[in-house]
Structures are given as structure tokens and as C-alpha cells.
A and B are shown apart, each in its own frame.
Chain A
Amino acid sequence: EDQVTQSPEALRLQEGESSSLNCSYTVSGLRGLFWYRQDPGKGPEFLFTLYSAGEEKEKERLKATLTKKESFLHITAPKPEDSATYLCAVRGNQGGKLIFGQGTELSVKP
């Protein structure tokens, strides 16, 4: 059964304190791993798609990496506006649906 586990559930950082969020997955034939950012009461905002182990993508202070078992979302020198819930999702070759993790709630204090 396809499964996604994110850790930690919640993360509190000081402004400028870099850290990483983890997304561990088991899937039958990875077709893609997706990172989304979600602000309270709003829809998820697409950040990155990763397809194969070793792939990396960057956007401003965020960098996503992928191995055969997990993905990391690295946040460098975060700012308060980076506070949000970060969702990881995978699609395997069994059906077309996204399998979401429970999310990591990030809080960045000034």
C-alpha cells in the first residue's frame, strides 16, 4: 500500500534558523513526488515536482531533494512569511490519485 509520512508534525524556528522537513514514502513505482505549501483556510500552493532519486529543485529559500525512500524540504534562513503547513504527496503507478502526508506545520518567529 502506498504511504507517505512527514516529520516533524510541527516545527518552530527563529527567523534565520535553517532546518529541514522530511517526507518518507513507500510507493509502487514512483511517478512523482510533490511539495505544496498551505496557508490556513486556503488551498495548497504548488511548490515542486521531483521525479527521480538525486533530483533537486530550488525556489527562493526552499530546496527540495529526493532519494529512493524520502524527500527533504530544506529551508534556508527562513522568514516569518514562510510560516505555513507544508504537504508532501506522491503518485505511484497504481491509479492516478495523490497520496498525501499529514503535513508539517512550520512556524517562524521574528
Chain B
Amino acid sequence: DTEVTQTPKHLVMGMTNKKSLKCEQHMGHRAMYWYKQKAKKPPELMFVYSYEKLSINESVPSRFSPECPNSSLLNLHLHALQPEDSALYLCASSQVLVSGGTYEQYFGPGTRLTVT
């Protein structure tokens, strides 16, 4: 099973709202990722968690706050977003990179976020 699930599928929020995106995987992967994707563009990395610890933050604004409660779950908390934050938010997971190794990432279906 190579499934990563994300909820909700669609989210509309105002600029003063607080909402959360959720991601779950049961492949035993210990690396999890958040990406942002704009139309006609490739995915853009936001955060990486390795063994439930934040290992990469690609200089993402603080209005995006990631959380990894356990090895299967990944959340993205949203607060005071701007209209330009509207995008498809993708979660992915993989085995943890080791020296000399590489592993493919498996993506979820995404959450389509619209900020009004």
C-alpha cells in the first residue's frame, strides 16, 4: 500500500481564520513533507520532518505552522493567510535518507486551499 491521505480535499478560509490540514500515511515511512503547488508549476518544498523532528524549513512564513504528532501523522496549521497563499497543498512521505541512499516520495492527493 503506497497511500497517503489528506483532509480536507477542499478548504475555503478567510484571512482571519485558523484552520489545519491533515496528512496520514501507514507505510512505515519516517520522513514526511509539505509542499505548495501553484497552477502550472512544480511542487515547492515547504517543510521536512525526519523521525518526527523538523529537519528542513524552506524559509516559510510563520503563518504556516507544521506539526508531526507521531510517525504516521502530519499537520499544517494555517493562520492569517493571504490570498496569494491559495494553492494545492501536498503532503508526501518516504523512507528516511541515509548516506549514499535515496528513496522515492509518495504524494497524497492534496488539499485545494482558497483564501478569500
Contact = CB atoms under 8 A, between A and B. Distances in A.
A48 to B, nearest CB: 9
Given A41-B88, A97-B56, A101-B42, A32 B108 contact: no
Nearest to B101: A31
Contacts of A98: 45, 105
Interface residues of B, number: 27
A49 interface: yes
A45 interface: yes
A43 B56 contact: no
Contacts of B101: 31
A96 B94 CA distance: 11
B34 interface: no
B42 A102 contact: yes
Interface in B40-57: 41-43, 45, 48, 55-56
A44 B107 contact: yes
B2 interface: yes
Interface of B: 2, 4, 6, 41-43, 45, 48, 55-56, 58, 88, 90, 92, 97, 100-110, 112
